[in-house]
Amino acid sequence: MVERYNAKEAEPRWQAEWAARELFRTSNDDPRPRYYVLEMFPYPSGRIHMGHVRNYTMGDVVARYKRARGFNVLHPMGWDAFGMPAENAAIQNNVHPKTWTYANIDAMRAQLKVMGLSLDWSREVATCDPSYYRHQQRMFLDFLDAGLVTRKTAKVNWDPIDGTVLANEQVIDGRGWRSGAAVEQRELTQWFFKITDYAADLDARLDTLERWPDKVRLMQRNWIGRSEGLLIGFALDPSTSPSGEDRLDIYTTRPDTLFGARFLAVAPDHPLAKAASERDPALAGFISECRRLGTAQEAIDRADKLGFDTGIRATHPFDPAWRLPVYVANFVLLEYGTGAIFGCPAHDQRDLDFVNRYGLGATPVVCPADQDPDTFVVTDTAYDGDGRMINSRFLDGMSIGEAKEEVASRLEAEVRDGRPVASRKVNFRLRDWGISRQRYWGCPIPMIHCKRCGIVPVPREGLPVVLPDDVSFDQPGNPLDRHPIWRDVSCPSCGGPGRRETDTMDTFVDSSWYFARFTDPHLAEVPTDRAVADSWLGVDQYIGGIEHAILHLLYSRFFMRAMRRVGWVGRDEPFDGLFTQGMVVHETYRDASGAWVQPADVRLEGMSGGRRAFHVKTSEPIEIGPIEKMSKSKKNTVDPDDIIASYGADTARWFMLSDSPPERDVIWTEEGVQGAWRFVQRIWRLVGDAAELPSGAGGDPVAPLRRTAHKTVAAVQDDIEGLRFNRAVARIHELANAIAAELQGGGDPAAIREAVRLTVQLIAPMMPHLAEECWRALGASGEGGTQLVAEAPWPEVDVTLLVEDVITLPVQVNGRKRADITVPRDADALAIEAAVLSLEAVRRAMEGRPPRKVIVVPHRIVNVVA
RNA sequence: GCGGGCGUGGCGGAACCGGUAGACGCGCUGGAUUUAGGUUCCAGUGACGCAAGUCGUGGGGGUUCGAGUCCCUCCGCCCGCACCA
């Protein structure tokens, strides 16, 4: 009897062996074809969680598989190490952010090593290290020179609790993504990366990212928000405008509805609104009302459509006698288009809500096919569907598309005061990326403010601008502002007194290029070696959470383009293949007082419908709640360390791959883990039994088990390539079942030994420690026992075994299965037809009727139609 | 509101192009072995039926020799965006 597989003893031993052999160290000089697999690097929060385990296991399977397939694989790991939690820890626990961060990195690195991941640790980087961020500062200056950096005053999302600016992406339902505080709007001067320069390209190139999930491409497309429209210059009556202004540019995507216009409206911050408010105190009051309302994003979301008539009058571009009022309206955004619109209430819900409040009326100009143009009216619900133009003079009868084209070409051709009245314009929702953060624990922005010279870059030889260590967090705000020694420097240009920029960069900058740095992470003078970077990029397979579908991935795509512009890389797209994995979820538990209880403290009894839960210590009944993402706040977490300590890393890895498709959420259950653990032991038993078989015995080249084993290798190969790990797992189970049956039934010993050996190779990417142990037990490690399974090439599939000589076809009568028939693989349709019709079961089902038709789908199915 | 996705046993899920629905795992039932128990092995496990068989992939309709898969329609759930003109 074979002993149990002892993961606790074996796993560290094999990890040490891999490390000693430097198996996962990647050379940039290796001539083999390259494969770059990368998982999104973690924030060093303190401990790894099950989401990390799932993410890194998937990446590791790919890395180990591709290595076996003969690729020179790059599989690095690092730390997204700047950010607010470190400062929060500093404030709460009086520990320096640097100390806290590096302690966490050490703890998490140790945890990852225990998982047995095939990472090249020699390439590890931490973004908070000056050896990393000096290059980021260098690239900031490069981008500045290339015109990709601007400084502008902008309305920003201000988080009053964290005391910092947030990107639009960091505002969720009007609240700060970390603090949960209601976000306010503030005007601040900020540094921006001009991502909008690439808006069109970032949009267009989404089509070429074929190995990205459609969902992510769509989310990016919506975020970039490309729209085609018309910029129309409405003539203003100068006698009504504040300073004789005679033109107002508006942006519209619906120029076809121009004859349904009822009003124009500008944003409260629009220059025309400001000018008009100076002569009209009531209007000024309305505008400040809008601002007050506008401080909290939440209020904006709920606000009614409010407006104020400026008294300014505009003229319709197609009718000099048609005058339109100009309003200031709270729902018009200054940042989008021109900050001014024309309102067509019949075909835009916001405009309709607006006119219904102010009694301006609505004329429908698009009539749906099922409505009579003479009676079609719009009252409460705007019509934005398809139809024919009505009430629109020369546009009547046209389709929407034709009308858009007609309006555009007429107004383009018409010149007023030496300018065309209108021009076609592609607009984007995407805004420039504000990267300034009023925070200490981030990459310093390498600029110096000088009273005489303005804002001056730190000379490149003066980099890095290193964060000072001696800071305190006893007051709110940015400690860098209160650090005179660091802050006050002489101007690099005139030598006079200067002041460092004390804002630091958004941490999304740090993670926008780490994948490029990994290609040659220890270069001291430059961020990348262009040739080396180009030899690895784009990342062949990037794996991470869907939560980064927009921000991180879009910023990285921008950053690659910017890096290319200044010469650090030679391509635009960072990630050729992207996979977004699902979350790890778990039941939630609460006690009678409503307090969350962690799974480790819960004892479960009963099954499916009648399950009940009790507290392990108090035996108090526990309420079983919904299955949710593992989170500290709901205490429904399972600690990877605990699982690895009880079952071993391989069991945890196997379970992570087995139950659910990788893109879907996986429910962590104790039963599931135990199932995985049992399978580990089962493999170990099969290997032990197979090793005891007499060697040299048997050898049937077409033994059924040989066929099964080789088919499984082919299928698993396919599944891993397609990241269908759950199916690969199921197939390995089937092979194990087949082997067990052959062992039981005294099957061909040579075939069994081969099948077991193949099984070990199939599990090697997933359960690498167990596989090594089995490999050695099977004596597969070659002369002198020197070769590890991690070094072995992927098994060659014997393709002749994949094709059977005889096949079994299901036989249907009228689409209902009645029998099976076994025929030679190359049997012709007529022969099969005759054989099928003579089957007893078929005759019975035909009830004496003659067959009308017999459909023979080669190698698939036979259907007799009665 | 706009955009997208998904509904298959008690549960997680398989089913590539329309071709044997329910692979594989979990759970459960019965039996065997061993044990203090976990373990291991064998058999069973969509529903109804003694059986032959009938029904069955959210509901209804359609296309087809044949539909979980394609089309129409309704219902339910989930995700993303949200005053973007």
> For residue A301, what pLDDT is reported?
54
A151-155, A306-310, A637-641: the lowest-pLDDT one:
A151-155
Residue with tokens 């069994």: A752
pLDDT band at A169 (very low <50, low <70, confident <90, very high): low
pLDDT at A813 over 90: no
Nucleotide nearest A607, CA–C1', reads B27
> For residue A827, what pLDDT is reported?
85
| A742 CA → B42 C1’, Å | 15
Nucleotide nearest A663, CA–C1', reads B5
For residue A523, count CB atoms less than 10 angstroms from its CB and return exposed for 0-12, middle for 13-18, buried for 19 or more: middle
Instruction: Please name which of A602, A606, A578, A576 lies closest in space to residue A589, comparing C-alpha atoms.
Output: A602
| A214 CA → B67 C1’, Å | 26
pLDDT at A454 over 70: yes
Nearest residue by alpha-carbon distance to C1' of B39: A678
ipTM of the complex: 0.94
> For residue A296, what pLDDT is reported?
47
Nucleotide nearest A682, CA–C1', reads B40
> For residue A806, what pLDDT is reported?
84
Is the torsion defined by CA of A466, A470, A472, A473 positive or negative? positive
Nearest residue by alpha-carbon distance to C1' of B66: A815
- Position with higher pLDDT, A304 vs A260: A260
Nearest residue by alpha-carbon distance to C1' of B23: A730
Nucleotide nearest A251, CA–C1', reads B85
C-alpha torsion A19→A24→A30→A35, nearest 10: 180
How many angstroms separate the CA atoms of A312 and A323, rounded?
10
| A65 CA → B52 C1’, Å | 52
Nucleotide nearest A724, CA–C1', reads B14
Three-state DSSP string of A288-334: HHHHHHCCEHHHHHHCCCCEEEEEEEEEECCEEEEEEEEEEECCCCC
Instruction: Please name which of A648, A762, A782 lies closest in space to residue A14, comparing C-alpha atoms.
Output: A648
pLDDT at A609 over 60: no
> For residue A295, what pLDDT is reported?
46
| A77 CA → B21 C1’, Å | 43
* A507 backbone dihedrals φ, ψ, rounded to 5°: -65, -15
**DSSP conformation letters of A158-217:** EETTTTEEE-GGGEETTEETTT-PBPEEEEEEEEEE-GGGGHHHHHHGGGG-TBS-HHHH
pLDDT at A2 over 70: no
Nucleotide nearest A841, CA–C1', reads B52
Token pair for residue A665?
């959420």
Contacts for A368 with CB less than 8 Å, ≥ 6 apart = A376, A383, A385, A386, A387
CA A847-A848-A852 angle, to 5 degrees, is 100
Q: At what angle do helices A749-763 and A670-692 cross, to 10 degrees?
A: 140
| A744 CA → B52 C1’, Å | 35
pLDDT band at A601 (very low <50, low <70, confident <90, very high): confident
Contact of A187 with A208, CB cutoff 8 Å = no
How many angstroms separate the CA atoms of A634 and A647, rounded?
25
* E strand or H helix that includes residue A497: strand A497-500
Q: What is the tally of helices (H) and strands (E) in chain A?
A: 26, 38
Nucleotide nearest A223, CA–C1', reads B81
A124-138, A581-595, A762-776: the lowest-pLDDT one:
A581-595
Nearest residue by alpha-carbon distance to C1' of B25: A659
A211-215, A278-282, A617-621, A682-686: the lowest-pLDDT one:
A617-621
Nearest residue by alpha-carbon distance to C1' of B2: A222
Nucleotide nearest A844, CA–C1', reads B52
| A629 CA → B79 C1’, Å | 14
pLDDT band at A755 (very low <50, low <70, confident <90, very high): very high
Nearest residue by alpha-carbon distance to C1' of B79: A215
Number of residues written out for chain A: 866
Instruction: Please name which of A334, A292, A298, A331 lies closest in space to residue A183, comparing C-alpha atoms.
Output: A298
**Alpha helices, H only, A598-695:** 640-647, 649-658, 670-692
Token pair for residue A429?
């929702």
| A744 CA → B37 C1’, Å | 27
Q: What is the pLDDT of residues A329-383, one digit of tens each?
A: 999 988 899 999 999 999 998 899 899 989 888 999 999 888 888 999 888 888 8
| A637 CA → B51 C1’, Å | 52
pLDDT at A743 over 80: yes
When the pLDDT of each residue in chain A is averaged and rounded to a whole number, the result is 91
**Percent with pLDDT over 70 in chain A:** 96
| A351 CA → B66 C1’, Å | 53
pLDDT at A253 over 50: yes
- Write out which nucleotides of chain B lie closer than 7 A to a protein Cβ: 1, 3-5, 10-15, 19-21, 23-28, 39-42, 53-54, 65-67, 79-85
> For residue A1, what pLDDT is reported?
45
A105-109, A183-187, A463-467, A720-724: the lowest-pLDDT one:
A183-187
**What's the average model confidence in pLDDT over A137-160?**
91
> For residue A299, what pLDDT is reported?
54
Nucleotide nearest A679, CA–C1', reads B25
| A546 CA → B78 C1’, Å | 14
Most confident of A157-161, A278-282, A518-522: A518-522
> For residue A606, what pLDDT is reported?
62
Contact of A814 with A864, CB cutoff 8 Å = yes
pLDDT band at A46 (very low <50, low <70, confident <90, very high): very high
- Position with higher pLDDT, A79 vs A609: A79
Nucleotide nearest A336, CA–C1', reads B84
Q: How far is CA A862 from the centre of its chain?
A: 45
CA A376-A380-A386 angle, to 5 degrees, is 50
A612-616, A682-686, A799-803, A834-838: the lowest-pLDDT one:
A612-616
- Position with higher pLDDT, A678 vs A633: A678
pLDDT at A162 over 80: no
Task: Tell me chain A's radius of gyration from C-alpha atoms.
Answer: 34
Residue with tokens 């995407």: A430
pLDDT band at A847 (very low <50, low <70, confident <90, very high): confident
The strand pair at A263-266 and A227-236 is best described as unpaired
A30-34, A294-298, A460-464, A836-840: the lowest-pLDDT one:
A294-298
* Largest Cα span, chain A: 108
**What's the average model confidence in pLDDT over A217-243?**
94
Nearest residue by alpha-carbon distance to C1' of B5: A215
How many angstroms separate the CA atoms of A89 and A91, rounded?
5
- Position with higher pLDDT, A164 vs A827: A827
Is the torsion defined by CA of A49, A52, A56, A57 positive or negative? positive
**What's the average model confidence in pLDDT over A267-290?**
92
pLDDT band at A265 (very low <50, low <70, confident <90, very high): very high
> For residue A858, what pLDDT is reported?
86
Coil, strand or helix at A500 = strand
